[in-house]
């Protein structure tokens, strides 16, 4: 089903429009409309994260040393604690010592934020990057 599009105009300084057009070209977006839609969706997603309201989809991508003490059991325990929000996980072996995991989440923004905070607090995780998408 195609959603009805609504047209509106935006006024801004010429220098900002030029900078916006350069950004659009760099990102290889098709038009200003596509760029604005992307920016608005990103902003709404970030706002949901901040206020922790509504339903959303999210990811948490992290790397860890699988040799670190109890890493696998800590990660498994955490994922079992949040089974209701986890859609799936993907495990990738980066090198002999390092693994990467992507956890796909769906549910209340509050629950997704709780998962990311709990995962980020695990001592075995080297780098963790959350992502949140509103269901738009």
Give me the long-range contacts of 99-104 (CB less than 8 A, separation at least 24). 99/63, 99/64, 99/65, 99/66, 100/61, 100/62, 100/63, 101/61, 101/62, 101/63, 101/64, 101/75, 102/59, 102/60, 102/61, 103/59, 103/60, 103/61, 103/62, 103/79, 104/57, 104/58, 104/59
State yes or no: pLDDT of 136 exceeds 60: no
Positive or negative torsion for Cα 48, 50, 51, 52: positive
Q: Would you say 49 and 115 are in contact if contact means Cβ atoms under 8 Å apart? A: no
> pLDDT confidence of 46, banded at 50, 70, 90?
confident
Confidence at residue 135, expressed as pLDDT on a 0 to 100 scale: 64
Which of the two residues, 37 and 90, has the higher pLDDT score? 90
Q: Using one digit for the tens of pLDDT, what is the confidence trace for 74-86?
A: 999 999 999 999 9
Cβ atoms within 10 Å of 41's Cβ, excluding its own: 13
Is it the case that residue 16 has pLDDT exceeding 60? Answer: yes
Q: Does the pTM of the predicted model rise above 0.75? A: no
């Amino acid at each position: 089903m195609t959603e009805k599009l609504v047209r509106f105009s935006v006024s801004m300084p010429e220098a900002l429009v030029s900078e916006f057009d350069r950004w659009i070209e760099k990102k290889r977006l098709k038009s200003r409309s596509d760029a604005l839609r992307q920016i608005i969706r990103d902003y709404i997603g970030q706002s949901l994260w901040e206020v922790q309201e509504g339903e959303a989809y999210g990811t948490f991508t992290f790397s860890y040393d699988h040799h670190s003490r109890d890493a696998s059991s800590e990660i498994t325990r955490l994922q079992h604690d949040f089974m209701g929000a986890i859609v799936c996980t993907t495990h990738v072996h980066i090198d002999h010592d390092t693994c990467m995991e992507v956890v796909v989440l769906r549910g209340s923004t509050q629950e997704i934020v709780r998962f990311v905070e709990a995962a980020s607090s695990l001592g075995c995780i080297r780098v963790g990057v959350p992502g949140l998408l509103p269901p738009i």
